[in-house]
Amino acid sequence: MIFKEYMAEISLTGITAVIVGLTVLFNDINIQIRIKELRMFLQRSSREDNSIDHIGLVMKYRLHKEMYENRVTAEDTSVIETRINSILSGREEDTEALPGRYHYLSVPVLHSINFIRYITGMPLIEDMEDDDLNLSLEVAYYHERNKDYKKAIALYNQILDDPSSGRTLKAGVLLHMGFCYSIIGDYEKAKSKYLTVIKEYGDINTAVTAAVMLRYLEGFRTEIEKVLRTEKDSTAKGEKLYKLIAYTESYEVLKRIENTALLSERGKIKYFKARTLEEIGETGKAIDIYQQIIMDNPQSEYASSANRRIYLVGSVNLEGDKIKKLAVENNKLVNDATLVKMVEEDARFIQVDKNHKAFPGAVKNLFTEKITSGNPGAGVHSDSIDKMIRKVEERVNEGKATAVRNTPPVEVKVKIYTKDGNIFTGTLLRETSDQIVISSSLGVIKISKSKIYRRIDL
């Protein structure tokens, strides 16, 4: 009875609610369309100004030059490389326009908005599709950072042929191609690409970077020829060639001498063989050797260096989280303070893009599909890393069960400040005249007393 009496009012209220709801929905879709338009604009601007990527290329040359001249330690090199990888990480998440909540509804809404804008004489909104060129560029960068230089070069060639590639983008792509050619030892093609950037794109800042990199390249090439011509095969020769970015030549030297070298040299040979394999794209094989070095003797001279390399591979690989976890687990055996510092440095640069939380994996899946399509063996196999982690955990547990405990009678918490800027907090396990050993969240850490400038007992 009441319903019939107030039918008109109820109907009007319902119609009003529907209109308001549709208006809110329409405006929300409009906002999503404009956000996507803005995001696409920022993507293209970022693609044209890719100076951050160029920093990584120059730093690679510079670090190797300083290593060759013995002006930088292995520890410092690892920390610097961690910073570079952290700065460049997560780029794939920005390769696709943000997926909207209204994938299908956005089309009619866009047409409605453009009809209104047409009537009022305003410019129409472009129906911007995801930027495939930008995604292809990031896939090429991924292959480059993971040392698959030939695949990166092939993708760069496709990008150069794309009619939508602007001059600034082409200059950057040519610079990356020159870098890739230099790493695989094709110096003439590398030089040609750098010269092309310098001569044809002299009005762009990339030309300055190309000139710097060409100078590095020529310096490396001169030294490589000198080492190959004047030195006999030896571990030192293999190491020098590695530092000069002559990876293939270094590997061949090390391979020739590994069976006849002194036992004291074989650990070094194995490590640098793994380094050269990593740099020529054989990442899986390199990790296998690194892990073997660690498991054979966690306290050996090269176990710490091998574990740092595993962590650095994790900074750029699709299986990055698992690979980094392996390195952290390894450090419970290795006790390397530099690895702890690398983890801390990495954490400083990790930025979580809240905009992507509503769409977990949407962008990453597209990027991953591009990486692995036609190449199922790309990257490091997840199952292999899982097995390594399990073996390390078993080794750690065995050590806890059988080790002779040498702990203070009362548990002591300490906070230690080192001269190189690190801060370690944990439980004191033992203390000698030379060092302090603590148990932290990252495992057991040995700290030389000569590096400590302050200690607080908590």
Tokens at residue 354, please? 């809240």
CA atoms within 13 A on the CB side of 278: 23
Tokens at residue 87, please? 């700065």
What residues contact 84, with CB distance under 8 A and at least 6 apart?
A: 55, 56, 59
DSSP string, 189-256: HHHHHHHHHHHH-TTSTHHHHHHHHHHHHHHHHHHHHHHHHH--S-HHHHHHHHHTT-HHHHHHHHHH
Place of tokens 């040995």: 446
Residue type, 306: A
* pLDDT at 350 (0 to 100): 59
- 251 by Cβ neighbours in 10 Å (0-12 / 13-18 / 19+) ranks as buried
* pLDDT at 5 (0 to 100): 63
Among 384, 386, 383, 374, which residue's Cα sits nearest to residue 143?
374
Domain residue spans of the chain: 1-48+97-128, 51-95+129-402, 413-457
Q: What is the dihedral of CA 413, 419, 420, 425, to 10 degrees?
A: 0
Cα distance between residue 330 and residue 257, in whole Å: 29
∠ CA 444-449-452, nearest 5°, is 90
* pLDDT at 96 (0 to 100): 43
Distance from the first to the final alpha carbon of the chain: 77
Q: What is the pTM of this model?
A: 0.69
* pLDDT at 103 (0 to 100): 56
* pLDDT at 407 (0 to 100): 47
CB 134 within 8 A of CB 44: yes
CB 170 within 8 A of CB 201: yes
What residues contact 177, with CB distance under 8 A and at least 6 apart?
A: 153, 156, 157, 193
Place of tokens 């293209």: 44
Helix, strand, coil percentages, rounded to 5, for the chain: 65, 5, 25
- Extended beta strands in 295-451, E state: 413-418, 423-431, 435-440, 443-448
* pLDDT at 137 (0 to 100): 84
Question: Please, what's the b/e burial string for 177-203 (b: 16 or more CB within 10 A of its CB; e: otherwise)?
Answer: bbbbbbbbbbbebbbebbebbbeebee
Cα distance between residue 263 and residue 437, in whole Å: 30
* pLDDT at 253 (0 to 100): 95
What residues contact 55, with CB distance under 8 A and at least 6 apart?
A: 84, 87
Among 339, 443, 438, which residue's Cα sits nearest to residue 75?
339
* pLDDT at 64 (0 to 100): 92
Cα distance between residue 346 and residue 377, in whole Å: 27
DSSP string, 170-192: HHHHHHHHHHHHHHTT-HHHHHH
Residue type, 213: M
Long-range contacts of 288-296 (CB under 8 A, 24+ apart): 288/384, 291/326, 291/330, 291/388, 293/267, 294/330, 294/333, 294/334, 295/391, 295/392, 295/395
With residue 119 as reference, give the H or E element that holds it. Answer: helix 106-119
* pLDDT at 349 (0 to 100): 66
* pLDDT at 198 (0 to 100): 96
Block means of pLDDT (10 residues each) for the chain, length 458 residues?
Answer: 62 74 66 57 50 74 92 84 72 44 60 72 60 78 89 92 86 94 94 96 91 95 95 94 95 93 88 93 91 92 92 85 92 91 79 40 54 53 85 84 52 84 84 80 81 82
- CATH fold label, 413-457: SH3 type barrels. (2.30.30)
